[in-house]
Amino acid sequence: MTEILSLAGANLISPIILSFALGLLAALARSDLTIPEAVAKGMSIYLLFSIGFKGGVAVSAHGIDQTLVLALIAGLVLSFVLPLLAFGLLRVMTGLSAIDAAAVAAHYGSISIVTFVAATSVLNGRMISSEGYMVAVAAVMEAPAILSALWLVARSGSGEARMDPGLIRELLLNGSIVLLVGAFFIGAITGEKGFAEISAFIEAPFKGVLCLFLLDMGLIAGRGLRQSRGVLGMGAVGFAIAMPLVSAMIGLGIGALIGLSLGGVVLMMVLCASASYIAVPAAMRVALPEANPAVYLTLSLGVTFPFNLTLGIPLYLAIAQAVTGA
């Protein structure tokens, strides 16, 4: 317990978390602080390229093994299955309609790449290595949850899910996935030599850019919380904290079962525990327009994202250390 509190304490006063807190507080206090859309998108492109490239370099150094295939399959299956669990919990814990519950469930089956990046940053800070291909697992886990959510809506007979070929193409060729996977392959092909050539760009400024990006995330989360006051009940907020804990435990079991390293297990827990707030909301606006965006965005970005960032990641690390004995 002392170890968990110490980890959480150190995490809470890191520049990354404090930047997020600054954005959150500034938005709640109605400050006019904003990050221009183009800057935010530029930072997002930088972070995705950097994390993808570094993952590819790590794979080129350590090679491909059976665990990689198992991790990819596990990620795919988890992304399909976690929304079913989330939907069940939501129906028990909240009074949300089937459509709103399915839309929220899709977010919790998909992933937050920023939470993943923050977790890799925490692991690097503690000199804990992880499997580079976890980046590919993250990419695989982006979209399947959306299909599960649409199936849940169709099964409940409570509404019409709008699923066209254009949406499937948008999901699979979503810009984040293309960049992440593309950078991963560039890193895997060019290896250490390629990394040496551009490390000054993708390594040294990484944490600083992540701080500014999280400042922006804090601003968006704060604005969302301010505007959605009264939209969410205690049951929904409870779900947004309970679901990541349950999902992380499933990720822990799966990660340990397929033989991931300590860092890999933590990242699998984080991927399972995190909720999307970029790719899935856009897909939900197309496929389930009747679902209330204030509900799913506030839960994923306003509650689960800060929870994972501040307490979740150190907690998952401590639990993984205790379970794996590493």
Stretch that binds another protein, among 81-89, 213-221, 267-275, 303-311 (CB under 8 A): 213-221
Minimum CB separation from another protein for residue 283, in Å?
7
Give the residue, chosen from 35, 136, 152, 303, that forms a contact with another protein under the rule CB under 8 A.
35
Interface with another protein includes 227 (CB under 8 A)? yes
Q: Which of residues 43-102 bind another protein (CB under 8 A)?
A: 44
Using the contact rule CB under 8 A, the part of the chain among 68-76, 121-129, 183-191, 271-279 near another protein is 271-279
3-state secondary structure the chain: CHHHHHHHHHHHCCHHHHHHHHHHHHHHCCCCCCCCHHHHHHHHHHHHHHHHHHHHHHHHHHCCCHHHHHHHHHHHHHHHHHHHHHHHHHHHHCCCCHHHHHHHHHHHHCCCHHHHHHHHHHHHHCCCCCCCCHHHHHHHCCCHHHHHHHHHHHHHCCCCCCCCHHHHHHHHCCHHHHHHHHHHHHHHHHHHHHHHHHHHHHCCCHHHHHHHHHHHHHHHHHHHHHHCCCCCCHHHHHHHHHHHHHHHHHHHHHHHHCCCCHHHHHHHHHHHHCCCCCHHHHHHHHHCCCCCHHHHHHHHHHHHHHHHHHHHHHHHHHHHHHHHCC
302 near another protein, rule: CB under 8 A: no
Binding residues for another protein, total number by CB under 8 A: 28
Least distance in Å: CB of 12 to another protein?
Answer: 23
Per CB under 8 A, which region of 40-48, 78-86, 122-130, 260-268 contacts another protein?
40-48
Could you tell me the smallest distance in angstroms from the CB atom of residue 89 to another protein? 25
Pattern of binders to another protein over 172-191, x per CB under 8 A?
----x---------------
- Give whichever of 67 and 228 is closer to another protein, judged by the CB atom: 228
Q: CB of 212 within 8 A of CB of 43?
A: yes
Contacts of 268 (CB under 8 A, 6+ apart): 71, 74, 75, 134, 137, 251, 252, 254, 255, 260
CB 55 within 8 A of CB 136: yes
**Nearest-5° angle of CA 247, CA 310, CA 13?**
155
d(CA 208, CA 10): 18
Closer CB to another protein, 84 or 290, in the complex: 290
Does residue number 315 form part of the binding site for another protein (CB under 8 A)?
A: no
Residue nearer to another protein on the CB measure, 269 or 278: 278
Among 249, 289, 323, 324, binds another protein (CB under 8 A): 289
The residue among 148, 167, 165 whose CA lies nearest residue 77 is: 148
Residue range at the interface with another protein (CB under 8 A); choices 58-66, 103-111, 190-198, 288-296: 288-296
Instruction: Kindly state whether residue 34 participates in binding another protein, applying the rule CB under 8 A.
Output: yes
Using the minimum distance from each CB to another protein, give the nearer residue, 182 or 293: 293
Check residue 158 for interaction with another protein (CB under 8 A).
no
State yes or no: residue 40 binds another protein (CB under 8 A). Answer: yes
Q: In this chain, which stretch among 7-15, 189-197, 200-208, 279-287 interacts with another protein, using CB under 8 A? A: 279-287
Check binding of 216 to another protein (CB under 8 A): yes
Beta carbon of residue 64, minimum distance to another protein (angstroms, whole number): 31
Instruction: Report the interface residues with another protein, using CB under 8 A.
Output: 34-37, 40-41, 44, 162, 166, 176, 216, 219-220, 223, 227-228, 277-279, 281-283, 285-286, 289-290, 293-294
